[in-house]
Amino acid sequence: MSRPNKQKIPTENPTGGGLFAAFSGLEIPGLPPLASDPETVAEPPSSVPAKKGRVILRRETAHRGGKQVIVIDGFDPAISDDEIETVGKKLRAACGCGGAVKNRTVEMQGNHPERIRAWLVKEGFRVGGIS
């Protein structure tokens, strides 16, 4: 048995071009426009925050006299301790409650995981754990 001849895509572009010049002649529906065509490339929305990784929310009451706290941990190693401190400070201000930053975790006093989750998502974190 022999294989049927397949249609080959030419990889040489006589006009030069760039890295994707060989694919400039392809017409496949559903593909995004090439980056070399500035008028068809959509600008990324500036309101979308940068991705900062995934964090975990958990509710704890142990050793706190029955009071509930929401613990946020699992910060990406690329995020510095100073940035985690800043996240804790802004989150305390946004939720109007107390809290602390200890060992790369943020402890928020009170039981309001919905507000904490919404704020973290707005800042660019992916949030897992309690909802």
The pLDDT tens digits for 58-92 are 999 988 888 999 999 999 999 999 999 999 999 99
Residues 120 and 70 in one domain: yes
Which pTM value belongs to this model?
Answer: 0.61
Do 61 and 120 have their domain in common?
yes
- How far, in Å, CA of 43 to CA of 33, rounded? 12
Q: Which domain holds residue 17?
A: 8-42
Q: Give the domain CATH number at 123.
A: 3.30.780.10
Domain shared by 98 and 118, yes or no: yes
What is the structure's pLDDT at 35?
A: 63
Under the banding of pLDDT at 50, 70 and 90, the label for residue 121 is very high
Count H helices and E strands in the chain, helices first: 2, 5
What is the pLDDT at residue 17?
61
Domain membership of residue 3 (yes or no) is no
Q: 37 with 59, same domain?
A: no
Q: Assess contact for 67 and 59: CB atoms under 8 A.
A: no
| Residue 7 vs residue 98, higher pLDDT | 98
Task: Say which residue the tokens 């706190």 belong to.
Answer: 64
Mean pLDDT of the chain: 82
Same domain, 29 and 58: no
- How many structural domains is the chain composed of? 2
Instruction: Say yes or no: 123 and 60 in one domain.
Output: yes
The answer as to whether 23 is a domain residue is: yes
Please give the Cα distance from 94 to 11 (Å, whole number): 55
User: Could you tell me the strand order of the sheet in which 99-102 lies?
Assistant: 99-102, 105-109, 69-73, 54-60, 126-129
Least confident of 12-16, 18-22, 93-97: 12-16
